[in-house]
Amino acid sequence: MKIEFIGPAVPADDGGISFRAKVDGQTVACKFSMEALQDVNPSLTMVAPIEQFEASQGVLLAIAEKKIRAGEVENGVVRVFTQDLS
């Protein structure tokens, strides 16, 4: 399975962040909840979600990749929540 994170990071309607990936040539939206963004690095809870994402991008994309490889993509979307951080 070939996974390429192509971005960009954009604000999502729910206050989180969406980041595009190509998975075997198909576009997948990686959606990171606002809570996951705050909980991945609690020292950044007072900054904008885009800044929270950028500061922890490597960790967050690794979680998204793990979920993609596990087949947790529904309707072209993989969602990362707080419970996925552990």
- Report the alpha-carbon distance of residue 9 to residue 53 in Å, rounded: 8
- Specify the pTM: 0.94
Sheet holding 77-80, edge to edge: 3-11, 17-23, 26-32, 77-80
pLDDT band at 35 (very low <50, low <70, confident <90, very high): very high
Q: What is the pLDDT of residue 27?
A: 98
Q: What is the pLDDT of residue 67?
A: 98
CATH code of the domain in which 50 resides = 3.30.160.140
Question: Domains in the chain: how many in total?
Answer: 1
> What is the full DSSP assignment across 20-75?
EEEETTEEEEEEE-HHHHHHHSGGGTTS-HHHHHHHTHHHHHHHHHHHHHTT--BT
Domain that holds residue 41: 3-85
Per-residue tokens: 71: 């087949």
For residue 13, the SS3 value is coil
| Rounded mean pLDDT, 50-79 | 97
